[in-house]
Amino acid sequence: MPSSKKKPLPRSLWTALFHPWVWRMAWRDSRSQRLRLVIFSLAIVSGIAALTAIHSLKTSVERGIESEAKSLLGSDLRVSSRKEITPEEVDRLAEMASRVSREISFPSMMRFLPEKGARLMQVRGIEGGYPFYGKVETRPVEAWERLQKEGGVLVEPSILDQFSVAVGDRVELGGIQLEILGVVDKPAPRGSRFSGFAPEAYVNLVDIERSGLLGKNSMAGYQVHLEIPDAPGSRELKGKVLEGFPDTRWRMETPENRRENLGKALDFFQKFLGLIALASLALGAIGVAGAVHAHVTRRIQTVGILRCLGCPGNLAFGVYFAQAIALGLLGALIGAGLGICMQTGLLAALGDKLPVSVRPTPEWLVVGQTTAMGFAVCCGFALLPLMKIREISPAVTLRSGATLKGSFLRALPVYGLLLGLLLMVAYGNDPSWKEAFAMVGGMVVAFLVLVGVARGLMAMSRRVVSVRWPYMIRQGISNLHRPGNQTLLFLLSLGLGTFLLVTILSAGKLLNNRLSLQQSEESPNLYLIDVQPDQVAGVKALLAGEELPVLEATPMVTMRIQSIRGVEVGDLKDVPRWVGRREFRSTYRDQLNFTETLIAGELATERADIEDIVPLSLEEKIARDMKVSIGDEITMDVQGIPIRTKVTSIRRVDWSRFNLNFFMVFPPGVLEEAPGFNVVTTRTPTPEASGDLQRKLAGKFANVTVIDLTQILEMIRDILVKISTGVTIMVGFTVLAGLPILIGTLLNGRDVRLKESVLLRTLGASAKQVRRILVIEYATLGFLTALTGVLLAVAANAALATSVFDASPWPDAMLLFTVFGAVMGISVLGGLALSRGVTSHPPLEILRGGS
Amino acid sequence: MLKDVDLCLKEGETLAIVGPSGSGKTTLLGLCAGLDDASAGSVELDGQAIESLDQDARAALRNRLVGFVFQSFQLIPTLTAIENVLVPLELRGESGQGAEAERLLTEVGLGDRLDHYPLQLSGGEQQRVALARAFIHRPKILFADEPTGNLDSGTSGPIVEMLFRLNREAGTALVLVTHDPALAAKARRVVTMSGGTIVSEEENAIF
């Protein structure tokens, strides 16, 4: 034998993986199956794409928030109050700042002269150099400066078009007229939530005082903006202010809060996306595991030969692990590419609908991290069938019919690794260990239940089959427990797939239901706020004159909570701080409205006396947050007057309707004398009717604020439609991720059943008989898989609905039946497809092993 | 199940194991080659007790000392003829042996079919590839399990001839499991098994 270069092959797995022979052999071994293997690798694509897209999106938005945090707030500290912040207080606050700025804002009607129309505007009067960070951009450029010096008004550009007015024209605000100085292209950072919907108008603070609107307007907000160089941390800064002003109920915001709040605004959607990412990845990974199992099963003989010829177990394992790595990498790269397209595409599509400006560029670090994580999960799942390679004996070369065997104990570290990886992915989606454990725990429970059902089915099929049964049924059912059966694998892969898919579909539905506004004919689209008690009759008459209905006319009184169960609200440890700070707008009435349901106690219908303990009805969620139940005493501070109340009923409110709803409802007889105002709601058929009414109201009742929900609803609907489309696309994506599972599962059983069926054919069975046997087996498997998967999903849906989405735990029956039918149908079709293979392949070809 | 089997094979010796189906012939062969584990007793290969070795050490021993020819050829379907022949050497970490593999394949009459896949070869051709593979790494002992069991008499004749010629030339010991008395007769010693035990042992006069 001629001399040769001898380099011993490595024996350990890690060194084997770096050896060229392993990769050469992996490449050669893939020859006859390359297309099939590439298709398998696509299993992980959707999972990694979802993971990459979701995390990149999150990072892009966070980066946007981070870079804009200060300019989003415009200052280092914003102090807000519903009550006036006195000049003395402002002076004292100014001591800790290098610059200070005052702002008063409120919604008010603005009339465009001459007689061009009126609409609700969020009026903002700013004095001082605010914003200290970022810049207000106007056209003409000097308009902002002029506003500070001369007074006037700046409006949003669309307003000029809407009312056919131009710079230089005049508007009427309360009792004064102002000149339009220009338009605002980039506004000052906003504080009030309401300003998100009403167009803003900037005026000089002096003009606000001159307008005379402030005195009567209960929706005014007072703000002080502070520039504090070298400001301490958010908590410390707030602590310092609280120390100096212990008796105030100011709301304070720092850039840090702004960052958190914006993050929270997207939190709910992110939770759902996180669920999708985890489920898509798990679905893909299960698909990969099934596909690798099918592949390895076909390679038992090859591994046996290699072992016979002296190949160490790790090296043989290495060959197929190398294939899995290559396929996983291919799938991961394609997935990452797709994820980048989804992220940048979605950002480009959302554009300025996001609360911060985000550039649609790939987040390479996140792409790298998520691809690596997805790749690791893919390889981890592939390890489960690959581990069995090490159990293949060289003796399989001596006898045919060997099956892939595995030891659960040996695979235990792999299961541990997978759990760890999935936990990391879940935690990465939503940094809460509780939720991560709940999600992964749910999957583990589903896994164990499916294993249990599979084992139960096998045991039962072994016992129940009777010789008196017709042959085909006997054969079909016996196939469920015989050697080479696919019961466990089928139930696990397709069952888990069904479970995850239904869970995602249900969660998508829950989210979409939550997002849908369910606007009915009874819902108002116009709110008339700040109607003083002596104006109610006049406003009603005006509406009647316009032939518009008065849907609701409700009194509203502002109040705070003083104590709960006799303990000062500030001293209650387990009650969130905002409960004490919140200003509640409550009403009084003796009946429920059409969006309320009583869930505990009785609504007080008798008139109550302020001197007695007043029965109080609380909304369900606020009662939960306040940790109170029926019978608990709450003392309310109604603008300085304490009123003792006792919770006598709890209501569930459908907040998705746009009618008037309240956290607290009092009985009549208590609040009538308290300072308050009325809200009247109506529904206008057309924008013209709405405009007409608003003009007349501005003329007769200048203080009455009109909120036109038609425009708000349109804006909300526009954003929600986009989000909803995103949800639907993502759900569709998960369905796509489930397909490889199906293919993998069916392929797994194909070879064994094909050979068996051909043998039956050779022995004289008709194609119909073979088909029946297969259909019986697959229908039984499909039935149990669908049933178990769907039932598990019902449980998961209930858990998600109650703990995450705050919705009804009952899933959509239609969805369940559809998926159940689809899984059953697909299983039976899979069986029939196999029987087609039997009739389309010459028996000899299969008997010779050439299948 | 094997019982009271005591067998020894010297270097370069040829041994045929015969007996009815289920008599334990293949089991014995599997144990001798370290493919299976014995529940009791000991198997020594080139002075090494197989049962004391773990699976990887056994594989290394096989790679160093053992060649195989199987009834169903057991070629790796995704490798070409020459690649199949080279596998034992590649597993030893030896490269640059293509010429030797080509020489062996030419010797078994497949010089023009080097790059054919097993499915593109007839049964006889596949077995000849298996023969070339069995000898490429110059094993000390060759185990052949019914090497002509899947071949007709016309094809099996040249295979048998090649098997014994290569065996002679390389000085390899040969263990043959067969049903075929004519094939068994070509071995120096013939062991007959029945019910998992050796019932007779004879030496052929031709040697």
Note the pLDDT tens digit of each residue in B98-115: 899 999 899 888 999 999
Per-residue pLDDT, B92: 80
State how far the Cα of A419 lies from the Cα of B185, in Å rounded to an integer. Answer: 61
Q: Does B95 touch chain A (CB under 8 A)?
A: yes
Q: Which domain holds residue B182?
A: 14-203
Residues 151-190 in B contacting A (C-alpha not used; CB under 8 Å): none
Q: Which residues pair with A643 in a beta bridge?
A: A636
- Read off the pLDDT of residues A19-74 as tens digits, 9 standing for 90 and up: 888 898 999 988 877 877 887 777 788 788 888 888 887 787 777 766 666 777 78
Per-residue pLDDT, A261: 54
Per-residue pLDDT, A352: 63
Q: What is the mean pLDDT of residues B188-207?
A: 84
Q: How confident is the model at residue A731 (pLDDT cuts 50, 70, 90)?
A: low
Q: How confident is the model at residue A725 (pLDDT cuts 50, 70, 90)?
A: low
DSSP class of residue A534 equals G
How does DSSP assign A91-133, residue by residue?
Answer: HHHHTT-SEEEEEEEEEEEEEETTTTEEEEEEEEEEESS--SS
Candidate from A77-81, A244-248, A553-557 with smallest mean pLDDT = A244-248
CA distance from start to end of chain B: 32
Provide the token pair at B152: 């007709």
Per-residue pLDDT, A1: 45
Q: How confident is the model at residue A303 (pLDDT cuts 50, 70, 90)?
A: very high
- Read off the pLDDT of residues A513-571 as tens digits, 9 standing for 90 and up: 665 544 445 567 788 877 888 888 999 999 898 888 888 888 888 888 888 988 888 78
Which one of A2, A302, A304 has the shortest CB-CB distance to B100?
A: A2
Which one of B59, B75, B79 has the shortest CB-CB distance to A312?
A: B59
State how far the Cα of A326 lies from the Cα of A330, in Å rounded to an integer. Answer: 6
Q: How far is A331 from chain B (nearest CA, A)?
A: 23
Q: Enter the ipTM.
A: 0.83
Residue A144 to residues A147, A211, A576, Cα–Cα distance (Å): 5, 20, 40
Q: Which residues of B touch A307 (CB under 8 A)?
A: 55, 59
- What global pTM score does this model have? 0.66
| Res. A650: pLDDT tops 90 | yes
State how far the Cα of A259 lies from the Cα of A72, in Å rounded to an integer. Answer: 9
Query: Quick check: A201 and A208 in contact, CB under 8 A?
Result: no
Calculate the average pLDDT of chain A.
Answer: 80
Q: Does A848 touch chain B (CB under 8 A)?
A: no
Phi, psi for residue A747 in degrees, rounded to 5: -65, -35
Which one of B56, B63, B145 has the shortest CB-CB distance to A309?
A: B63
Which one of A302, A312, A399 has the shortest CB-CB distance to B56?
A: A312
Per-residue pLDDT, B189: 92
Q: Is B2 inside a domain boundary?
A: no
Contact flag B93-A398 (C-beta cutoff 8 Å): no
Candidate from A338-342, A365-369, A577-581 with smallest mean pLDDT = A577-581
**Mutation target among A398, A400, A844, A851 for the B interface, most CBs of B within 10 A:** A398
Size of interface A-B (CB pairs under 8 A): 112
Q: Which residues of B touch A2 (CB under 8 A)?
A: 97, 99-100
Question: Which residue from B minimizes the CA distance to A21?
Answer: B90
Provide the token pair at A461: 């099929």
Q: How confident is the model at residue A740 (pLDDT cuts 50, 70, 90)?
A: low
Going by C-beta distance under 8 Å and a sequence separation of 6 or more, which residues neighbour residue A261?
A: none
Provide the token pair at A653: 């409110």
- Read off the pLDDT of residues A119-150 as tens digits, 9 standing for 90 and up: 778 889 988 888 888 788 888 999 998 888 88
- Read off the pLDDT of residues A685-724 as tens digits, 9 standing for 90 and up: 776 777 778 778 877 886 777 776 665 555 555 555 666 6
Choice between B155 and A554, residue whose per-residue pLDDT is larger: A554
Contact flag B77-A305 (C-beta cutoff 8 Å): no
Q: How far is A851 from chain B (nearest CA, A)?
A: 11
Contact flag B59-A311 (C-beta cutoff 8 Å): yes
Q: Does B75 touch chain A (CB under 8 A)?
A: yes
Per-residue pLDDT, A337: 93
Q: Does B102 touch chain A (CB under 8 A)?
A: no
* Domain CATH for B178: 3.40.50.300
Contact flag B78-A30 (C-beta cutoff 8 Å): yes
Question: Which residue from B minimizes the CA distance to A393?
Answer: B35
Q: Which residues of B touch A9 (CB under 8 A)?
A: 90-93
Residues 33-72 in A contacting B (C-alpha not used; CB under 8 Å): 33
Contact flag B95-A2 (C-beta cutoff 8 Å): no
Per-residue pLDDT, A520: 47
DSSP class of residue A54 equals H
* Number of domains present in the structure of chain B: 1
Q: Does B21 touch chain A (CB under 8 A)?
A: no
Contact flag A4-B97 (C-beta cutoff 8 Å): yes
Q: Is B9 inside a domain boundary?
A: no
- Quote the percentage of chain A above a pLDDT of 70: 83
| Res. B123: pLDDT tops 90 | no
Q: Residues of B95-110 as b/e, b for ≥16 C-beta within 10 angstroms?
A: eebeebbbebbebbeb
Helix (H, G, I), strand (E, B) or coil at A523: coil
Q: Is B4 inside a domain boundary?
A: no
At A455, which helix (H) or strand (E)?
Answer: helix A433-464
Q: How confident is the model at residue B143 (pLDDT cuts 50, 70, 90)?
A: very high
Contact flag B92-A311 (C-beta cutoff 8 Å): no
Q: How far is B20 from chain A (nearest CA, A)?
A: 16
Q: Is B46 inside a domain boundary?
A: yes
Q: How far is A395 from chain B (nearest CA, A)?
A: 5
Phi, psi for residue A521 in degrees, rounded to 5: -65, -25
Per-residue pLDDT, A850: 43
Q: Does A310 touch chain B (CB under 8 A)?
A: yes
Q: Is B1 inside a domain boundary?
A: no
Going by C-beta distance under 8 Å and a sequence separation of 6 or more, which residues neighbour residue A565?
A: A628, A632, A633, A634
Per-residue pLDDT, B197: 92
Q: How confident is the model at residue B175 (pLDDT cuts 50, 70, 90)?
A: very high
Q: How far is B142 from chain A (nearest CA, A)?
A: 12
Contact flag A314-B56 (C-beta cutoff 8 Å): yes
Contact flag B92-A6 (C-beta cutoff 8 Å): yes
Going by C-beta distance under 8 Å and a sequence separation of 6 or more, which residues neighbour residue A396?
A: A300, A301, A303, A304, A402
Residue A787 to residues A479, A793, A818, A822, Cα–Cα distance (Å): 20, 10, 12, 12
Per-residue pLDDT, A518: 42
Report the 3 state secondary structure along A760-822.
HHHCCCCHHHHHHHHHHHHHHHHHHHHHHHHHHHHHHHHHHHHHCCCCCCCCCHHHHHHHHHH
State how far the Cα of A341 lies from the Cα of A336, in Å rounded to an integer. Answer: 9
- Quote the percentage of chain B above a pLDDT of 90: 22
Query: Quick check: A143 and A182 in contact, CB under 8 A?
Result: yes
Q: Give the number of other CB atoms < 10 A from CB of residue A554.
A: 20
Q: What is the mean pLDDT of residues A604-628?
A: 87
Q: Is B171 inside a domain boundary?
A: yes
Q: How far is A440 from chain B (nearest CA, A)?
A: 37
Q: Does A20 touch chain B (CB under 8 A)?
A: no
State how far the Cα of A801 lies from the Cα of A794, in Å rounded to an integer. Answer: 10
At A635, which helix (H) or strand (E)?
Answer: strand A633-638
State how far the Cα of A649 lies from the Cα of A647, in Å rounded to an integer. Answer: 6
Angle (deg, nearest 10), helices A43-73 and A709-762: 160
Domain limits, chain A: 17-70+270-431, 77-253, 449-518+711-851, 526-710
Q: Does A751 touch chain B (CB under 8 A)?
A: no
Closest-CA residue to A724 (of A510, A520, A519, A523):
A510
Q: Does B120 touch chain A (CB under 8 A)?
A: no
